Structure 1
Amino acid sequence: MAKLRVHTDRIEVHLTPAEKSLALRGADLVVQRDDIRSATITDDPWIWIRGIRRRGTEVPLVVAVGVWKYHGGSDFVIVKGKRQAVVLELAAGEFTRIILSTNHAAELIDRLKLTATPDVVEGD
């Protein structure tokens, strides 16, 4: 389960060793808060996955972890089952959007609205 750290200037997505292995990625994700254009909660994250898997693992409707490439850029996806997810639309950086399953979607959205001390939100 990925851990999210929400700071005043950035969000860090700390991947578990299993998620790093499934995503074929060695590093965690860091997104500058200024780069976040929007954050959306969705009950069906599978419909938000676009393009083709470039690097990572997918078992449809079970798990999708990694990078999906589409004509306008790349998305990073961590979707598990039919859990609720947060879709972060990004203006700049390595990815165009991040789709992340979490049991704490509403809490994450609230943390993004506030500029406070670092908080940890558990992903799923």
Structure 2
Amino acid sequence: MANLRVHADRIEVHLTAAEKALALRADDIVVQRDDIRSATVTDDPWVWIRGIRKRGSEVPLVVAVGVWKYHGGTDFVIVKGKRQAVVLELADGEFTRIILSTNHSATLIDRLKLNEPPSAADAQPAE
């Protein structure tokens, strides 16, 4: 399974050798945190796959790894079985979305939360 590393400025998706072979891709994926528009946890990642497979491998409902092309761009998919997945919607970069099966989806979502500005109740009065 792909290894995710969350940094302050980016997320790195380190693919295993098997995933690189199935995806027909030599490089890992790096996404800047500023490019992430939303992150969603799903129990059924198969319904999130859209378009047609451009490059990669698929056995329906078993494994899907690679690039899927649709009319608005391309998505990178690593979906395995019925595992929970995270769907990252991206604003810019190589892909429009990344759909990634992971056993740690809740932890990943928590680590992706950006510092929110303080609410009005927390604001200090100006002097």
Same fold (TM over 0.5): yes
Tell me the distance in 2 between the aligned counterparts of 1:97 and 1:64. 14
AA matched with 1:24? L
Correspondence list, 1:32-111, <5 A: 32-111=32-111
Displacement after TM superposition at 1:26 (Å)? 0.1
The unaligned stretches of length 5 or more in structure 2 are 116-127
* Aligned residues with identical type, % of pairs: 86
Question: Which aligned segments of 4 or more residues in structure 1 are displaced greater than 3 angstroms?
Answer: none
More strand by percentage: 1
AA matched with 1:64? A
The answer to which of 53-62 and 105-114 deviates more is: 105-114
Q: Which has the higher contact order (CA 8 A, sep 6+)?
A: 1
Tell me the distance in 2 between the aligned counterparts of 1:113 and 1:48. 22
Q: Considering only aligned residues, what root-mean-square deviation do their CA atoms show, in Å?
A: 0.8
Rg larger for: 2
TM-score by length of 2: 0.89
Tell me the distance in 1 between the aligned counterparts of 2:58 and 2:104. 23
Tell me the distance in 2 between the aligned counterparts of 1:110 and 1:43. 17
